[in-house]
Structure 1
Amino acid sequence: MAQFAAPECLQAIATPGVTTDAALVVLQSLISRMEAMTDGPYWVEHDQSKNLLTYHDLLQRFINHEDAITFRQSEIASITFPLKLQSVTQVDSKTSPAVQLADVMIGATIEAANTLTGQRGGSLDAQRVLALYADHQLIHMLPSIDFEEQKRFRQGTQATQVIDYFAQNFHK
């Protein structure tokens, strides 16, 4: 597979400090969705996670960022600073019924999605699980090869500006 890759891409991936970790994209998507779903300040409690701990300092920079600016990321997603998000706290799920419930809900949702996409068969009724959620409450990151649809979906976005702004304001 590597024989077909662009050498500059392979070189970038091999550069110390460069990561192919998609967690930042997922994190930005989640923040974008939570920001859209709330009218005022909110706080997040999350089960203890090594991955989330990796992004703790960056999350703090996002939360503390005071410049007023909005970026359109897609037809349905944008991110506006300052965030309404006030804090992210990691807790032991054994001491937090809310986090325990969230873990059960996300586990069931992941199983339902895996069942519907044929990745594996689950014992839950996938349709009944997903019916518990409104469409805007689900974030999926399924790749699409419908390039015309993707082009339309991302038309008018500010992807380049977001990357430049993040590099200027949030890079360590």
Structure 2
Amino acid sequence: MAFQNAVKEKTPAAMKTLVAAAAATRWRQLPEALDPLAQFAAPECLNAIANPCVDTDAALVVLQSLISRMEVMADGAYRVEHDQSKNLLRYYQLLQRFINHDQDVEFHQTQIASIKFPLKLTEVTQVDSKASPAVQLADVMIGAATEAANNMTGLRSGGLDPEAVISLYAENQFIHLTPFIDFEEQRWFGEGTQAAEVIDYFAANFFGPAEV
């Protein structure tokens, strides 16, 4: 909570609270992540958090993960209809850059994830779910999956049977983000992949001045 508040407020008081919160944790159990803040209040960390261009919005990461998965599952060209969303509207221009990018290039981001351009994705549109039975069905399925996940992790009880809901999905239809601190396995997971090259390529080709 202190970190989220520091990213949002970007004030000296919020930074001070963040450092105090980090120091109050058992940070020695995870020094790779917490030592710079907890022990040293590292200026490079605090300056990055205070940067007006830095936020914790994970929507872009989720969109990229979703596109990567759809690209693997799609046999040919496809389009996406999405319920009205401020985040999707925020990233619409970037998504168009992805779609219009015609360079023949492929990157392996992890042992199981890759992205290849040009995309098979041809169009992303926002629709009113009230006018789209397909989007309505997707909303219902997403809601059911979220409820099932909450029940399985003990965050909620009652409602739909989690096992019955999960059985409706194939394994490759799930994208999940979970904390993982087995660092040796994580090193293997990223070994020989091109995560750094992906960042450099995206910075050079998609995050420059707006195209005319």
Q: Which TM class, normalised by the smaller chain length?
A: over 0.9
1:34 aligned counterpart, secondary structure: helix
Deviation at 1:131, TM superposition (A): 0.6
Q: Secondary structure at the match of 1:63?
A: helix
1:59-83, CA deviations, whole angstroms, 9 ceiling, x for partnerless residues? 0000000001111011111000111
**1:76 and 1:140 mapped to 2: Cα distance?**
13
Gaps of 5+ in 2: 3-17, 23-36
One of 118, 129, 137 as aligned partner of 2:154: 118
Write the mapping of 1:14-29 to structure 2, written as runs, cut at 5 A: 14-29=50-65
State the 4+ residue runs in structure 1 displaced beyond 4 angstroms: none
Q: What SS does the corresponding residue of 2:160 show, helix, strand or coil?
A: coil
Calculate the aligned-residue CA RMSD, in Å. 1.2
Q: Larger relative contact order (C-alpha < 8 A, sep ≥ 6)?
A: 1
TM-score normalised over the length of structure 1: 0.95
Aligned partner of 1:146: which letter? D
Question: How far apart are the structure 2 equivalents of 1:73 and 1:114?
Answer: 29
Letter aligned with residue 18 of structure 1 = V
Q: Give matches, 1:1-150, under 5 Å.
A: 2-3=18-19, 4=22, 5=37, 6-150=42-186
C-alpha contact 1:115 1:122 (8 A) present in aligned 2: yes
In structure 2, the CA distance between the partners of 1:122 and 1:67, relative to structure 1 (3 Å rule), is farther
Identity %: 68
- Give aligned pairs, total: 172
The CA distance in 2 between the partners of 1:106 and 1:149, in whole Å, is: 30
Distance 1:91 1:153 in 2: 37
Unaligned runs of 5+ in 1: none
By how many angstroms is 1:10 displaced? 2.0
Q: 2:52 is aligned with what amino acid?
A: P
Given that 1:112 and 1:122 are in contact with CA atoms closer than 8 Å, whether structure 2 keeps it comes out as no
Distance 2:193 2:156 in 1: 35
Residues 48-57 or 148-157, more deviating: 148-157
CA distance in 2, matches of 1:88, 1:45: 6
Amino acid at match of 1:123: G
Cα offset, 1:142, TM superposition: 0.8
TM-score w.r.t. structure 2 length? 0.78
